[in-house]
Amino acid sequence: MAALASVQIATGAARAAIDPPVALAPMAGITDLPFRRVVAGFGAGLVVSEMVASREMAQAKPSDRARARAELGLHEAATAVQLAGHDPRWMAEAARMVADGGARIIDINMGCPAKKVVGGQSGAALMRDPDHALRMIEAVVAAVDLPVTLKTRLGWDDCCLNAPDLARRAVDAGVGMVTIHGRTRCQFYKGRADWSAIGAVVRAVPGVPVLANGDIRAAGDAAAALAASGAAGVMIGRGAQGRPWLLAQVAAALRDAPVPSAPTGAALVDLVAGHYEAILDFHGRDLGLRVARKHLDWYLTAASGAASLRRPLLTATDPRAVLRLLPEALSPAPPVTEAA
Ligand SMILES: Cc1cc2nc3c(=O)[nH]c(=O)nc-3n(C[C@H](O)[C@H](O)[C@H](O)COP(=O)(O)O)c2cc1C
C-alpha cells in the first residue's frame, strides 16, 4: 500500500491541510479540550470537538457563549468544531460565532443516532430528509469563509443507504471532506462497521477526501479500512480511549515510519496525572471527578493495571488520593501463576 498522503480540504477559497489524515472522532462527553490536547500532543492530523448544539449556542447568554467558545479550544491547532442542529438559521448563526472565535474548520453532524437528537430532526435524522440537510449545509457554507466538512453514516437503515448520494450533493454545495461511520443509524453501535460500503461514498465524490470511521482500534484495522474503502484517511474514536497515543502510532505505521511506543512506567503516570489535573481544572471539581473517572478506567484497562486498586481509584473523591495511587495502579498486573 502507498504511504498515506496528507489531504487538502477546500470549501470555495477556504482551505486546510490534514496531515496526517488520521483524525480523532468527536465523542460527546469524552473529546473535551483536555482530551483533545493530550491526543494532539502525541500527534493527530485533526481533532474534532464534541458536538455543539447550534441553537443553544446561538441563543446562549454572552457570558455562556464565551465559555462555550473557550471550551471549543478554537485557537488550538487542527481542531474542527462540530455543529449539530436542524434549523439552517441557527446552524449559520452558530457557524458565524465559532468562525468569529477563531474556528479553522466546521464539521456538520449528520450521524448522531441518539433518540433525543434524532427526535429533534438533527443528527442522523437528516439522512431521511436530504433536501433539508442540503439547505442546512448551504446555509453553513454561505455563512463562513472556512472549510466545511460533513460526518455521517452509511444511511438510516439497510433499506436507505443514501450516504453516496448525500455526500455527492453535499460536495456540490461546498463540503470539502466527508467522514463516514460505516454503520447505519438503526445499527447504533451494534455489529461491525462495514468499511467496504464506505467505498461507495469514496467513488461518489472523486477528488474529495473521505475519512473511514468505525471500529479502528489498531494500525492493522486502519490499513484494512483504507484498503477496503479506498478512503484518504481514517477517523478513530473509542480506540483512543485510554490510549491517546494510538493516532500517532497508526499514522506512523501507515507511513512506514518507526512506530512510537506507548508510554509506560513513570512516563505513563505523568501523562495520566497531567490529564487528570487538566480535567479537574477545566470542568471544576464536581463534574471533573465524574469525567476523569471514565478516562482513569480506560487508562487502567489499557495498561492492564492493578485490579485491586481499580475500585479505590475510581471511587476516590480526593484528587490527592488519586494521584498517590496512580503509580502502583498503572503498573501492569503480575501474571497469574498456578497455586503450587
Ligand atoms: C460516547 C460517544 C459519543 C459520541 N459523540 C459523537 C458526537 O458528538 N458527534 C459525532 O459525530 N459522533 C459522535 N460519536 C460517534 C463517533 O464519532 C464515531 O463515529 C463512532 O464512535 C465510531 O467510531 P469508533 O468505532 O472509532 O469509536 C460518539 C460516539 C460515542 C461512543
Provide residues with CB under 6 Å of ligand 1.
25-30, 50-51, 82, 109, 111-112, 151, 181, 213-216, 236-239
- Whether the full predicted model's pTM is greater than 0.85, yes or no, is yes
CA-CA distance, 22 to 247, in Å (whole number)?
6
Which residues of the chain fall short of a pLDDT of 50?
A: 340
Q: Which of 47, 177, 181, 215 to mutate to test the pocket of ligand 1 (most atoms within 8 A of CB)?
A: 181
Please report the pLDDT score of residue 338 as a whole number: 63
Task: Provide the CB-side half-sphere exposure for 274 (13 A, CA).
Answer: 12
Domain extent listing, the chain: 7-254, 265-329
Helix (H, G, I), strand (E, B) or coil at 18: strand
Report phi then psi at 118, rounded to 5. -65, -35
Integer Rg of the chain from CA: 20
Identity (one letter) of the amino acid at 56?
E
Please report the pLDDT score of residue 340 as a whole number: 47
Query: What pLDDT digit, counting tens, does each position of 212-259 carry?
Result: 999 999 999 999 999 999 999 999 999 999 999 999 999 999 999 999
Atom of ligand 1 at shortest range from CA of 240? 26
Please report the pLDDT score of residue 51 as a whole number: 93
Atom of ligand 1 at shortest range from CA of 193? 25
Query: What pLDDT digit, counting tens, does each position of 24-68 carry?
Result: 999 999 999 999 999 999 999 999 999 999 999 999 887 887 777
Q: Is residue 112 among the annotated active site residues? A: yes
CA-CA distance, 181 to 12, in Å (whole number)?
25
> Distance from CA of residue 179 to its chain's centroid?
10
Q: In the 8-state DSSP scheme, what is residue 157?
A: S
- The grid cell for 221 is 484495522
Identity (one letter) of the amino acid at 299?
Y
Please report the pLDDT score of residue 76 as a whole number: 72
Alpha carbon nearest to ligand 1 atom 10, residue: 26
Select 7-254's CATH number: 3.30.530.20, 3.20.20.70, 3.30.420.40, 3.40.50.9100.
3.20.20.70
CA-CA distance, 166 to 151, in Å (whole number)?
11
Beta bridge partners of 210: 178
Beta bridge partners of 107: 82, 149
Residue with C-alpha cell 472523486? 206
